[in-house]
Structure formats: structure tokens, C-alpha cells
Structure 1
């Protein structure tokens, strides 16, 4: 059951990273020349890491998300671990939104802190109380989402994926394996 949940999450992230599911969103006014989140340089390319001085890996991405989110007032909520075969390709950080004084402000502050750290906002989906922002850096994409309302079901999470071909293959293999 847990593997199926991760397969569904990975599929959703891969689709979002590829640019699907952006209906109703904006491309932040960047025009037709703006790259989609799926066209970022892979982490192993020479262009990767030019924003941060070196290629990012999952540990570095996790550290950046953790620093931004905890600095904004969130605590990390224990959750399911990323499957072993995807640990180098994916980071999942779920906020314990109930512990934040103002969850929406903490979300906005987290996104702003990531932007100050070199993450470039490429896409926003904002509809009916749910916000998903795509932020790109060094071949990685973070999907920052704030869905729901305080007092009801509220989910705040930051899921990062490596957009390189090695990780794309790993996600596809994981999905195929878990379809059975």
C-alpha cells in the first residue's frame, strides 16, 4: 500500500515537473521564451549548479528546504520515507502546519526564502484555496504546495525532484514496478 502511495506521488510530481496540470496557473509573465519546469538542465550537466556554485544533490536540496521552512515557522512532520531507489532523485518535506502560527504566511515566507537562495519561481497554480508554486534551481524543481484551510484539512509540503535523465528513468521504473 505504501509503495502504491509513493508511486502515485512520484507520478504526480513527474507530471507536474513536465508541465502538465498547469491549467489555471500562470507562468509569472515570462512569455513564450520562459523554460518550463521540465526543461531545466539536468543536475549532471555543466550548466547545473551555476546558481549555487556546484551541482545540487538530494541532501543539499533537503537542507535548503529545511532551513527555509523552519526559518519561516514550520516544523517537519514525520511521514513516509522516500523509497530507497528514489532517495537520490526526490526530497519530500511535509510541514506540521498545525504548529505554525499562520500557515499561509509561513508558506509565503518559505517560498520567499527559497527564492533568496537562488530558486527561481517558474509557475504558479492558485485555485480555490490551493497554491502550488514551482521553483527551479540547478536541475531540480521544488513543488511547494499549500492546500486547505486551518481548522480543516490543511496540507503543506515541499516535494523536490531531480529533472535529469537518470532520475526520470528511475521514476518511470518505479511507476512500472508498482503498477503490478
Structure 2
């Protein structure tokens, strides 16, 4: 129960600090990078398009891309923090790393973000403060906040993606802020 509350609190911090709207996230106050777009020629074979034609990116495809990048970088998933609000399953993906099991948490985070860039995710914004790093990425209509908190007692890495389509924005707004038990 304690870990679930920490995950919920950290998710709230990620969303509050980095923003999670259709504007790609606000990076007011403390941004250490502007629009640093990283693009690569590599793609996921067109099966999860979403930008510039091809098939639409689904929540399942986003989750698979995050999982592939994170596990390939040395993270294992801590599924206890990955539940999304009811009614937003097609609009939101949460992937929480069991950061304690990573050989080098910071390195795994950086490699995950790099792998996502190679899979076609654009790195739009970077926010760093007090040992936490939050990167805003985008692909198609999806916005992803990749956060690394590795200073102090809180050691956590989370990847939270939301679809910015109007119907998803309405579903996310209707779900409202989540309360921890």
C-alpha cells in the first residue's frame, strides 16, 4: 500500500511539474532544454504509425514500445503502479520501472529515452530540477512524460503516455484527479 501511494504521489508530481495536455507540456520554470527534437530514420516497421500516415497508434502499441525500450535498457516493470483511471484505458498508458532492480538507474533511463527516440518518438522538452529529470516526447497524437527521480529517498522511473485526441482529452478530464486510498 505504501509503495502504491508513493507511485501515485510521484505520478502527481510528474503531471503537475511537466504538464500533461495537448500543448506538449509546459516547461515553465527550470527547463534545461528547449525543443530538442531527436528523430531517427528507424521506425517500428510502420505497424504503429501515428504520424504522417500509416496506422493509428493505439494504447497497446504505445505500451509495447515503452516496454520494449525500458526492458531493453535494463529496467523491469513494477506493474503495481501502472493502473490507469477507469474509462481511460485506450487513452492512457502508465509504465513504472522497479528502479531498485536496475543495475544503473540513470543509465537505464537515458537508454530508454534513446530507444524511444529510435522508435520514432520526438523529444520535445526537458525539465531537470533537484535530481529529477522529466522529458516530454511525442509520436502521432500521443504525448509521453518520461521521468527519472533518483535523488534522495524517492528512486523511481515512470513513463506516462496520453493520447491528445479530443475524445481522449474528454475521457481524461472526466476521470479527474485520482485519489489515493
Q: Fold-level match, TM-score > 0.5?
A: yes
Number of matched pairs: 157
Residue 102 to residue 10, structure 1, CA distance change in 2 (3 Å): closer
Give the Cα–Cα distance (whole angstroms) in 1 for the partners of residues 35 and 108 of structure 2: 21
Give the Cα–Cα distance (whole angstroms) in 2 for the partners of residues 108 and 53 of structure 1: 28
Gaps of 5+ in 1: 31-47
Aligned-CA RMSD value? 2.9
Of 89-98 and 20-29, deviating more is: 20-29
Name the structure 1 match of 2:116.
114
Name the structure 2 match of 1:154.
155
User: Shift in Å at residue 95 of structure 1?
Assistant: 0.2
Give the Cα–Cα distance (whole angstroms) in 1 for the partners of residues 28 and 70 of structure 2: 24
Give the Cα–Cα distance (whole angstroms) in 2 for the partners of residues 107 and 65 of structure 1: 11
1:51 and 1:137 in contact (8 A); partners too: no
TM-score scaled by structure 2?
0.75
TM-score scaled by structure 1?
0.76
Name the structure 1 match of 2:30.
24
Give the one of 123, 129, 132 matched to 1:130.
132
Residue 168 to residue 59, structure 1, CA distance change in 2 (3 Å): same
Gaps of 5+ in 2: 38-48
Pick the structure with more helix per residue: 1
User: Shift in Å at residue 174 of structure 1?
Assistant: 1.2
Give the Cα–Cα distance (whole angstroms) in 1 for the partners of residues 64 and 131 of structure 2: 28
